[in-house]
Amino acid sequence: MVKSCDNALILFARDPVLGRVKTRLSPFLQEDAILELYTCFLQDSLDKIRQVENVDRFVGVAPSNESGFFNGTSDSDIRLFVQEGKELGDKMRRAIQDRFAEGYKRVVIIGSDSPSLPVSYISRAMDSVKDMVLGPSTDGGYYLIGMQGKVVEVFDGVAWGTETVLRETCERLMRSGADLELLPVWYDVDSPEDLKFFKSHLDLIEQAGLGKPGETGKLLDRILASH
């Protein structure tokens, strides 16, 4: 894919392999249902990044594309790469560094655990004039991170996967002197409780005429019927 603009939008995703994704949903859901659910997360997330204008789109997959799920996305529309690094912070730093090295001026990364995230939040991040933009998540982490011009060193020493990730990142950001823009709070879907809230939220969004449930919502109607 040839660079076509100054903005790079990256979806960080797990390779959808049975027993290796969304493990906190077990035993609430069977492994095959979890895999099908996460595949819907990915489909909705891919659809979401395709709706963002004036960006080059990427998928960073971990640990590899063993499943082949992303083969169909590796075309002129979306560029695929394998995440490199030990911890999440290392992987995000490397992905951002690589895009800057390719000539991009702003790089934004989103995760695949927020399939209901409004496209407008991503667009706002792409339009930000701040050095760094974060999308705070209700679990204490963040659903989006973006940087402009250079890598802001906020990754070292963060306890990834804990409820202190956002606070620790902001503390490092303050010490760096970089400007920060915070997006509205949103949520990830990791636990059975998250999943139930997500289903209720999708129903309300649809009832209010604010959007359609997508592939994930259609699947939830079926797999949550017995819970």
Express each pLDDT in 43-97 by its tens digit.
999 999 999 999 999 999 999 999 999 987 655 689 999 999 999 999 999 999 9
Identity (one letter) of the amino acid at 211?
G
How is 53-97 classified by DSSP, letter by letter? Answer: SS-EEEEEEES--TT-GGGGGBTTTEEEEE--SSSHHHHHHHHHH
Could you give the CA distance from residue 62 to residue 101 in angstroms, rounded to a whole number? 21
The confidence score (pLDDT) of residue 77 equals: 84
Q: How confident is the model at residue 223 (pLDDT cuts 50, 70, 90)?
A: confident
Q: What count of other Cβ atoms lies within 10 Å of the Cβ of residue 112?
A: 25
Helix (H, G, I), strand (E, B) or coil at 220: helix
pLDDT greater than 80 at residue 114: yes
> What's the whole-model pTM score?
0.94
String of b and e for 33-51 (b: at least 16 CB within 10 Å)? bbbbbbbbbbbbbbebbee
**Mean pLDDT for the stretch of residues 144-151:** 94
Q: Are 12 and 83 in contact (CB under 8 A)?
A: yes
Could you give the CA distance from residue 18 to residue 31 in angstroms, rounded to a whole number? 6
Residue with tokens 């920060």: 180
Domain 7-187: give its CATH code.
Answer: 3.90.550.10
The confidence score (pLDDT) of residue 74 equals: 55
pLDDT tens by residue, 2-45: 788 999 999 999 999 999 999 999 999 999 999 999 999 999 99
The confidence score (pLDDT) of residue 226 equals: 65
* Nearest to 160, CA basis, from 177, 179, 145: 145
Q: How confident is the model at residue 179 (pLDDT cuts 50, 70, 90)?
A: very high
The torsion angles phi and psi of 180, rounded to 5 degrees, stand at: -125, 140
Could you give the CA distance from residue 219 to residue 227 in angstroms, rounded to a whole number? 14
Could you give the CA distance from residue 41 to residue 202 in angstroms, rounded to a whole number? 13
**Mean pLDDT for the stretch of residues 136-159:** 91
Q: How confident is the model at residue 146 (pLDDT cuts 50, 70, 90)?
A: very high
pLDDT greater than 60 at residue 112: yes
